Every structure is written in structure tokens, then in C-alpha cells.
Amino acid sequence: MATPSAAFEALMNGVTSWDVPEDAVPCELLLIGEASFPVMLNDMGQVLIAASSYGRGRLVVVSHEDYLVEAQLTPFLLNAVGWLCSSPGAPVGVHPSLAPLAKILEGSGVEAKLEPEVKDSLGVYCIDAYNETMTEKLVKFMKHGGGLLIGGQAWDWANQGDDERVLFTFPGNLVTSVAGIYFTDNKGDTSFCKVSKKMPKTPVLVR
């Protein structure tokens, strides 16, 4: 992969603000390893969007699924699918749970279609982080060069279940952990998120 800072710039090209939906409370992402890097952080250093690579593929993780269906985030979403796609011209597949995203992408001239299953013919696949049935297929897809855009939050999920090992049992983590990114059960604060031109440094997390 090119350097993380080049990747960061590709993801942030033309993004001037983080106009995220206020009623969507995200979760903090935990980054481990050298491949993963932060894309969106708040003023307290919580990572809310991150990216990484795995095998021949790439990954962008957003900490609330609503971030993937909001038209106000279109510039970032276009950058993300562009950066994720390693085979130019290959279509973007969107899981039906994120149907509005297919419309947003199509509206900007990106070939996107609803796909209930991930297929190797797709350049990028977009899905929420709650699907338990597809985790192995998604990891394989990335390994073989696919780009994965995935979003969800684990704090609400953790509150509903009695399993406290969110890092190891939340469905999204079974996918993103291979690339060093974890959804946590900490709520993320979005009141102050500034857009940085250079890749922000992540604080070392002691948990």
C-alpha cells in the first residue's frame, strides 16, 4: 500500500467539514497495528473513522452505519469507494441494509448496485457491521483484493446483549480486526471534529 499519509489525503480530498448526523451516536474505534490509521477524530482524540489494508485489499470503517447513508457526507463517501477500489471500473456492491448509499453513489456517477452477497466481481462492497452471516466471506473478499466499506457502532449492541467481550464477539469486529481496527463499546463524541489536512496522530490507547 502507498504510505498512510497519501491514503489519508486521498480519503480527505475536498472534504472540508464533518457534517455528521447529530442523532447518530457513534462508537470509539480502537486501532492496533501498523496498517491502520485514523481518518476522523474528535477533539478528545477518539477515532470515529479509520482505514487499513488486509491482504491485497483495503478497508474503511465508520463508527455509525448512518454515516454511510447521509447525502451530506457524499464527498467523503466518493473518496472512500474510489480509494477502496483496486480494479478500476469494477462496480460497487451495496448490501440492502444500506440501500440509500447505492442511490448516493449512482447520483454521482458511480456504478453501484444492491447485492445481498459479496462477490469477487465487485470492486468494493458496502455493508453494516451487524451481519453475522457474512463475516468470513468479507475477510476473504478483502484478502483477494476487494475494498470493504463497513459501518456500525458497538455501544448499543453491547448494552443489549450480555456478552461483554465486544472486541471479540461484535460481528463487525470479526471482520475489521484482521486489519487492526475494532469497534468498541465506548460512545463517541462528535461535538468537535475538526478536519485536518495531514494525517492526525493517534494517541496511544491504554485500556
Residues that bind ligand NAG (CB under 6 A): 95, 97, 116-117, 130-131, 133-134
Question: Rounded to the nearest 5°, which phi and psi values hold at 204?
Answer: -75, 125
* Nearest to ligand NAG of 113, 194 (CB atom): 113
What 3-state DSSP class applies to 207?
Answer: coil
**In the bound complex, which residue of the shown chain has the CB atom lying closest to ligand NAG?**
116
**Least CB distance to ligand NAG at residue 181 (A):** 20
In angstroms, the Cα distances linking 121 to 40, 115, 167 are 30, 11, 30
**Least CB distance to ligand NAG at residue 116 (A):** 3
**Least CB distance to ligand NAG at residue 133 (A):** 5
Determine the Cα–Cα distance for residues 157 and 46; give it in Å rounded to an integer: 19
Q: Cell numbers at residue 128, please? A: 453494516
Which residue in 83, 132, 92, 136 sits closest to 115, CA to CA?
92
> How big is the CA angle at 93 (ends 87 and 95), to the nearest 5 degrees?
150
* Nearest to ligand NAG of 15, 94 (CB atom): 94
* Nearest to ligand NAG of 129, 199 (CB atom): 129
What 3-state DSSP class applies to 84?
Answer: helix
Which residue in 157, 151, 185 sits closest to 77, CA to CA?
151
**Least CB distance to ligand NAG at residue 163 (A):** 16
What single-letter DSSP state applies at residue 154?
S
**Least CB distance to ligand NAG at residue 192 (A):** 33
* Nearest to ligand NAG of 58, 95 (CB atom): 95
* Nearest to ligand NAG of 131, 196 (CB atom): 131
